[in-house]
A and B are shown apart, each in its own frame.
Chain A
Amino acid sequence: MRAALLVLLTGLGPAGAAELRPPPGAAACAGCHAAGAAMGAIAGRPEDETAAALAAYRTGERPASVMTRIAKGFSDEESRAIATYWAQVRE
Chain B
Amino acid sequence: MTHPTRRRLLAAGAALAFSRPALAQAKPKVVVIGGGFGGASAARDLHRGGIDVTLVEASPTYVSCPFSNEVIAGLQPMQAQRFGYEGLARAGIRVVHARAESIDADGRRVSLADGASLPYDRLVLSPGVDLRFDAIPGYDSGAAEVMPHAWKAGAQTELLARQLEAMPDGGTVVMAVPANPYRCPPGPYERASLIAHVLKTRKPGAKLIVLDAKDTFSKQKLFESAWRALYPDQLEYVPLAQGGAVTGVDPASMTVRTDFSEYKADVACIIPPQRAGAIAAIAGVADRSGWCPIDPVTFESRLVPGIHVIGDAAIAGAMPKSAFSANAQAHICAGAVIDLLAGRPPGTPKLINTCYSLVAPGYGISVAGVYHSAGEVLADVEGAGGTSPLDAPASLREQEALYAADWYRTITRQVFG
Q: Does A54 contact B (CB under 8 A)?
A: no
Contact A32 B385 (CB under 8 A): no
Contact B4 A72 (CB under 8 A): no
Contact B12 A78 (CB under 8 A): no
Contact A28 B1 (CB under 8 A): no
Q: How far is the CB of A1 from chain B (nearest CB, A)?
A: 6
6 more contacts with CB within 8 A, not counting A24-B347, A31-B407, A73-B384, are A2-B3, A31-B327, A32-B410, A66-B403, A70-B385, A80-B2
Contact B2 A84 (CB under 8 A): yes
Q: Does B49 contact A (CB under 8 A)?
A: yes
Q: Does B350 contact A (CB under 8 A)?
A: yes
Contact B335 A27 (CB under 8 A): yes
Contacts of B396 in A (CB 8 A): 65
CA distance A78 to B348 in the complex (A): 12
Residue among B12, B324, B327, B396 with most chain A CB within 10 A: B12
Contacts of A34 in B (CB 8 A): 410, 413-414
Q: Does A61 contact B (CB under 8 A)?
A: no
From A21, A66, A73, A81, give the contact of B2 (CB < 8 A). Answer: A81
Contact A66 B366 (CB under 8 A): yes
Contact B332 A81 (CB under 8 A): no
Within 8 A of B (CB), among A1-58: 1-2, 4-5, 8-9, 11-12, 14-15, 17-25, 27-34, 36-39
Q: How far is the CB of A9 from chain B (nearest CB, A)?
A: 7
Contacts of A9 in B (CB 8 A): 12
In the complex where A15-B15, A27-B332, A66-B368 touch, is A32 in contact with B406 (Cβ < 8 A)?
A: yes
Contacts of B413 in A (CB 8 A): 34
Interface string of B360-395 (1 = CB under 8 A from A): 000000101110100000000101111010000000
- A residues with CB within 8 A of B: 1-2, 4-5, 8-9, 11-12, 14-15, 17-25, 27-34, 36-39, 65-66, 69-74, 78, 80-81, 84, 88
From A11, A28, A80, give the contact of B352 (CB < 8 A). Answer: A28
CA distance A19 to B48 in the complex (A): 7
Contacts of A25 in B (CB 8 A): 349-352, 370
CA distance A30 to B77 in the complex (A): 26
- B residues with CB within 8 A of A: 1-4, 6, 8-9, 11-13, 15-16, 45, 48-49, 324, 327-328, 331-332, 334-335, 338, 347-354, 366, 368-370, 372, 381, 383-386, 388, 396, 399-400, 402-403, 406-407, 409-411, 413-414
Contacts of A22 in B (CB 8 A): 331, 335
CA distance A75 to B78 in the complex (A): 42
Contacts of B366 in A (CB 8 A): 65-66
From B4, B6, B372, B388, give the contact of A65 (CB < 8 A). Answer: B388
Contact A39 B403 (CB under 8 A): yes
Q: List 13 A-B contacts (CB under 8 A).
A: A8-B12, A8-B16, A25-B349, A27-B349, A28-B327, A28-B353, A29-B352, A31-B328, A32-B403, A32-B406, A65-B400, A66-B400, A72-B385
Contacts of A1 in B (CB 8 A): 3-4, 6, 9
CA distance A19 to B349 in the complex (A): 16
Contact A12 B4 (CB under 8 A): no
From A15, A30, A81, give the contact of B414 (CB < 8 A). Answer: A30
CA distance A88 to B242 in the complex (A): 55
Contact B328 A28 (CB under 8 A): yes
Contact A32 B11 (CB under 8 A): no
Contacts of B335 in A (CB 8 A): 18, 21-22, 27
Contacts of A65 in B (CB 8 A): 366, 388, 396, 399-400, 403
CA distance A36 to B407 in the complex (A): 11
Contacts of A36 in B (CB 8 A): 410
